[in-house]
Structure formats: C-alpha cells, structure tokens
Structure 1
Amino acid sequence: MSKVLDDPRDASLETKFALPTFWYRENFDGLGTSGMFLSGLIMVTRNRFLAWPSVLFGISSAINVHPLRAKDGGSGAGTLSSLLLCVGALITSYLPLFMISNVSRSTTAPLPTV
C-alpha cells in the first residue's frame, strides 16, 4: 500500500499555527473616496438627492474596515472622518429647508392709496 503525500489525515504533515507577520493592507478605499467626493459635490451644488448615496457609501466604508490587516493594528480613522463628512453633508443640504422660510404677505406693509 503506497502512502499519499498530500493526505490531510497524515499526522506527520502537521504544522504549528502561526499568524502572518504582515497582512496586505488595502490603501485605496473606493467607497470612502466616493462618499467624500459626493459630500464635496453636495456642499457645492446643494443637491439634497446626492446626500443619501453619500451617506450609504460612508456607512459601507465604515462597516468594511479591516483594522487587523494593518501592521500596527489600524484604527479606521479615515473611514470615521469619511462617515462624518457624509453625514455633515446630509445635514448641511437639508438645513436650509428648516432655517429659511418665505416671508408671508401679511407681514408686508400695505401699499399707500392715492
């Protein structure tokens, strides 16, 4: 009977478990970058409808952060700032609806009659 070298049940092929010394860290976060770009665009154009996808991009980038992939442990501070900027753009875009009101006709002075 021949012994198969790649048999997973073979006890002589066991190795000790060790975590990797360095995991690949993704420097480019596409969703966070898109959310920050949309937030800047919202603040310039005051388009309220772009604020909601921006907030979704910010939440998605905050959920998908991998702090254990960094050599030093990572903190995810970039995603937090992206999320805060997206929420700030949402608040900024809707704030004029609550702050600015139309002047009603009853408060204007009546026209003089001749």
Structure 2
Amino acid sequence: MTNEPEVELTTQQPCPRCGTPTLAAVTVPTRNTEHSVPQYATVTLCPNCDRHHPAPEVQGVIAYFTLNEHISTDEIEGAGQVLSDWARYVAAHPPVYNSDNLDEDIEAWARGEM
C-alpha cells in the first residue's frame, strides 16, 4: 500500500457509526505518534452521519449522490472530481490511531463486533 488514498465506492458497506449504507470509503495512512509501523484506516462517508460535516469536500460527495443515484458515463468527470477532492481532504486530515484505539478494537473484536 502506498501513501496515496485508495477510494472505493461502497454502497454495500454499512456505516460503522449508524449502519446506513455508505456512499464511499477511502483508505489512508493514519496519524500515529506512538508506533513507527505505518497503519492505515478506512474512512467511510455516510449520508446520514456526515450530512452536517463542515468540509465542502464531504458535502460535494453527498450532494452528488443525492442528485445522482449512480455514476453515469456523462457524469464520470464530475463524480471523479468530487471523489478526488474528498479523498485528498481525508488524506490531509487523517484519523488519529493510538494505543487507546487499539485497545478499543481488541475489545470490539473479542465481543465479536469486528
């Protein structure tokens, strides 16, 4: 995996916060000051949870998929632009992952939630 964000359209993936089908996901390196090993996180875009997010890059993707259920051939450039803008935004503002997050993930896994 490189340091470039990897975008994927994920209408089948449920939002980890509310369970609503997500619009897209992007995998980016996390900000991690505790470990030297690179770590990656997948950030999802939920039309429900993220609808009030202040970033125009987030709102652009939500607006696009509110107006267009699918990406048509005629709209591929417009869709590509809003998804690219969002991926760059997420890469510039990566999630923070630390030992507390790891402990939470281990506990969720032990409960069968992962």
Q: Bigger radius of gyration, 1 or 2?
A: 1
Determine if the TM-score, normalized by the shorter chain, exceeds 0.5: no
Is the helix fraction higher in 1 or 2? 1
Is the strand fraction higher in 1 or 2? 2
Q: What's the TM-score once normalised by structure 1's chain length?
A: 0.28
Q: What's the TM-score once normalised by structure 2's chain length?
A: 0.28
